[in-house]
Amino acid sequence: MGARETVEVTGHLMDSGILSRILDDIRDYGGDYVIEKFDVGHETNDPSRARISIEAEDDGRLQRLLMRLQTRGVNQVAVGNAVLAHAELDGVLPDGFYSTTNLETRVCLDGRWFDVENPEMDCGLLVAGSDTDDPRVRTIPMSDVRSGMQIVVGASGIQVSVPAPASLGEAFGPPSDSPHERPQTVLVRQVADAMRQTRADGKRVLWVAGPGIVHTGAAPAMVALIGAGFVDVVFAGNALATHDIESALYGTALGIDMNTAQGVEHGHEHHVRALNTIRKAGSIGAAVADGTLGSGIMHALVSHEKRYVLVGSVRDDGPLPDVHTDVIEGQRAMRAEIHDIGYCLMLATQLHSVATSNILPATVPLVCVDLNPVTVTKLADRGTSHGRGIVTDVGLFLEQLALELVPDYRRG
């Protein structure tokens, strides 16, 4: 072994399984370790602390291992100063760049610590500033890198902080719990309480919404929640908006009557006709303004002046004029809306949920609701330790949530 470093980690290392995952990471990266010190918390809420000496074949492998361990909240004991390198090409990070987590991060420059702005997964760290001003450190997506930018390389001079369990929504239980074995009524009430608290704190609630909300007949519940002030921002694709508008204009979703659950004659045409109607109006907002669109989720968002970002995919019909067809521009639009987010609800959309979890700081609690348990656990597979899952029908979930949060709401 040619390179060695001593690291430490603090938290609920035993009951959360973090320590075993740290040791697995070390072995997976071809390293070795010695646990030099391990202090176990005496009481239930007491954190444990571990100091571990790790070794790797060379410094390059060690740096990659250290970056991996920082996703678990592991920091070097001897931190040192961050190492900087200039980007040589647009859209290309320097070799050995520090790959970020979404944890709160600090960078040491010339012996001074600076907080990283906009914590986000899978980015680089940009150091910017003038000779007269203090430097600023922020995450930068690879696509936004420009030649000459100063980028942090290696793991030296970097510390991360893992959020306290309470801020992760510990009431939903540890990630290893089976999410479909928990009482749904209790979980819905906990979500409702968290949304009330978010609003009381002056923070915004972000919804990541899939078309299943419309298909299950839950659009009226979401409309009621928008009107009651529990929806501030919506991230979605072309499908949610299109099917919602089809439902408002034709009473169907993908040709299925929303009242009888039966297919209707020529119903397969309705979604493209709905698309064409909005494209003719010029935008969703214009269709609301001229009276073409008079109900539904999108109508409620426009009427209550709520923000929404629609990002499309290769499979989209139309798409709607409001949809970002350039995914890089779509990501930028999403990033522009995550300020002041205090809670995130993800409903029946795996693709947009994973995309959103990548750009949200770990301090933002999120809940993923889906009938498919694979979708619910996907966030954990992506390293989203701050997520919790509820396996249930999204329509039933939203009906219960509206009953909890909206006075005088009656089931649709």
- Shared-domain flag, residues 73 and 128: no
CATH number of the domain that 185 lies in? Answer: 3.40.50.10690
Q: Give me the residue label for tokens 């299109």.
A: 242
Domain boundary among 62, 78, 94: 78
- Shared-domain flag, residues 132 and 55: no
Residue 243 resides in a domain: yes
| Lowest mean pLDDT, pick from 25-29, 43-47, 59-63, 233-237 | 43-47
Residue 310 resides in a domain: yes
Angstrom distance (rounded) from CA 297 to CA 164: 35
- Shared-domain flag, residues 67 and 94: no
- Model confidence at 175: pLDDT above 50: no
**Mean pLDDT to the nearest integer, 21-25:** 95
Higher-pLDDT residue of 165 and 260 is: 260
Residue 324 resides in a domain: yes
* Eight-state DSSP code of residue 46: P
- Percent of the chain whose pLDDT exceeds 90: 80
- Shared-domain flag, residues 74 and 84: no
**Mean pLDDT to the nearest integer, 305-318:** 96
Cβ(346)–Cβ(369) below 8 Å: yes
Residue 59 resides in a domain: yes
- Shared-domain flag, residues 353 and 246: yes
Q: For residue 396, give every residue at least 6 positions away whose Cβ sits within 8 Å of its Cβ, in sequence order, or none.
A: 184, 216
Q: What is the pLDDT of residue 378?
A: 74
- The per-type count for the chain, helices as H runs and strands as E runs, is 13, 19
**Mean pLDDT to the nearest integer, 82-94:** 98
E strands along 162-209, which residues? 204-209
Q: What is the pLDDT of residue 1?
A: 53
Which strand ranges, in their side-by-side order, compose the sheet holding 32-39? 32-39, 48-56, 3-11, 75-76
Q: What is the pLDDT of residue 184?
A: 85
- Shared-domain flag, residues 326 and 270: yes
Q: What is the pLDDT of residue 12?
A: 86
Angstrom distance (rounded) from CA 271 to CA 351: 21
Count other C-beta atoms under 10 Å from residue 329's C-beta.
Answer: 11
- Phi first, then psi: what are they for 36, rounded to 5°? -80, -35
Mean pLDDT in the chain?
91
Q: How far apart are the first and last CA of the chain?
A: 65
**Mean pLDDT to the nearest integer, 237-257:** 96
Structural domain tally of the chain?
Answer: 3
- Model confidence at 176: pLDDT above 70: no
Angstrom distance (rounded) from CA 412 to CA 401: 13
Residue 2: pLDDT band (50, 70, 90) is confident
Residue 375: pLDDT band (50, 70, 90) is confident
Angstrom distance (rounded) from CA 10 to CA 102: 18
Q: What is the pLDDT of residue 132?
A: 59
State pLDDT tens for residues 183-212.
Answer: 888 999 999 999 999 999 999 999 999 999
Cβ(254)–Cβ(230) below 8 Å: no
Residue 116 resides in a domain: yes
Q: What is the pLDDT of residue 384?
A: 60
Could you tell me which residues are beta bridge partners of residue 124?
Answer: 140
Q: What is the pLDDT of residue 134?
A: 85
- Model confidence at 7: pLDDT above 50: yes
**Mean pLDDT to the nearest integer, 92-120:** 96
Could you tell me which residues are beta bridge partners of residue 230?
Answer: none
**Mean pLDDT to the nearest integer, 35-55:** 91
pTM: 0.90
- Shared-domain flag, residues 243 and 257: yes
Distances in Å between the Cα of 55 and the Cα atoms of 58, 107, 144, 219, 339 are: 9, 23, 34, 55, 39
Q: What is the pLDDT of residue 173?
A: 42
Angstrom distance (rounded) from CA 311 to CA 161: 31
Residues in the chain: 412
- Model confidence at 172: pLDDT above 50: no
Q: What is the pLDDT of residue 42?
A: 83
Q: What is the pLDDT of residue 371?
A: 92
The C-alpha torsion from 94 through 98 and 100 to 104, rounded to 10°, is: -130
Q: Which two tokens stand for residue 409?
A: 């709401």
Q: What is the pLDDT of residue 380?
A: 63
DSSP 245-268: HHHHHHSEETTEETTT--B-TTGG
Q: What is the pLDDT of residue 328?
A: 96
Cβ(390)–Cβ(179) below 8 Å: yes
- Model confidence at 364: pLDDT above 60: yes
- Percent of the chain whose pLDDT exceeds 70: 92
Angstrom distance (rounded) from CA 327 to CA 333: 10
- Shared-domain flag, residues 139 and 3: no
Q: What is the pLDDT of residue 45?
A: 82
Domain boundary among 31, 59, 78: 78
Domain boundary among 14, 46, 78: 78
Q: Domain of residue 62: give its range.
A: 1-78
- Shared-domain flag, residues 49 and 119: no
CATH number of the domain that 18 lies in? Answer: 3.30.70.2690
Q: For residue 133, give every residue at least 6 positions away whose Cβ sits within 8 Å of its Cβ, in sequence order, or none.
A: none
Cβ(319)–Cβ(305) below 8 Å: no
Angstrom distance (rounded) from CA 347 to CA 168: 18
Residue 411 resides in a domain: no
**Mean pLDDT to the nearest integer, 121-142:** 90
- Shared-domain flag, residues 223 and 137: no
Residue 46: pLDDT band (50, 70, 90) is confident
Cβ(219)–Cβ(244) below 8 Å: yes
Q: Which two tokens stand for residue 286?
A: 């214009």
- Shared-domain flag, residues 303 and 317: yes
Cβ(16)–Cβ(63) below 8 Å: no
**Mean pLDDT to the nearest integer, 225-232:** 99
Residue 412 resides in a domain: no
Q: What is the pLDDT of residue 388?
A: 84
Residue 410 resides in a domain: no
Q: What share of the chain is helix, strand, coil (3-state, %, to 5)?
A: 35, 25, 40
User: Is-cis flag, bond preceding 319, omega within 30?
Assistant: yes
- Model confidence at 167: pLDDT above 60: no
Q: What is the pLDDT of residue 385?
A: 59
- Shared-domain flag, residues 44 and 85: no
Q: Which one, of 247, 183, 236, lies nearest residue 346 by Cα?
A: 236
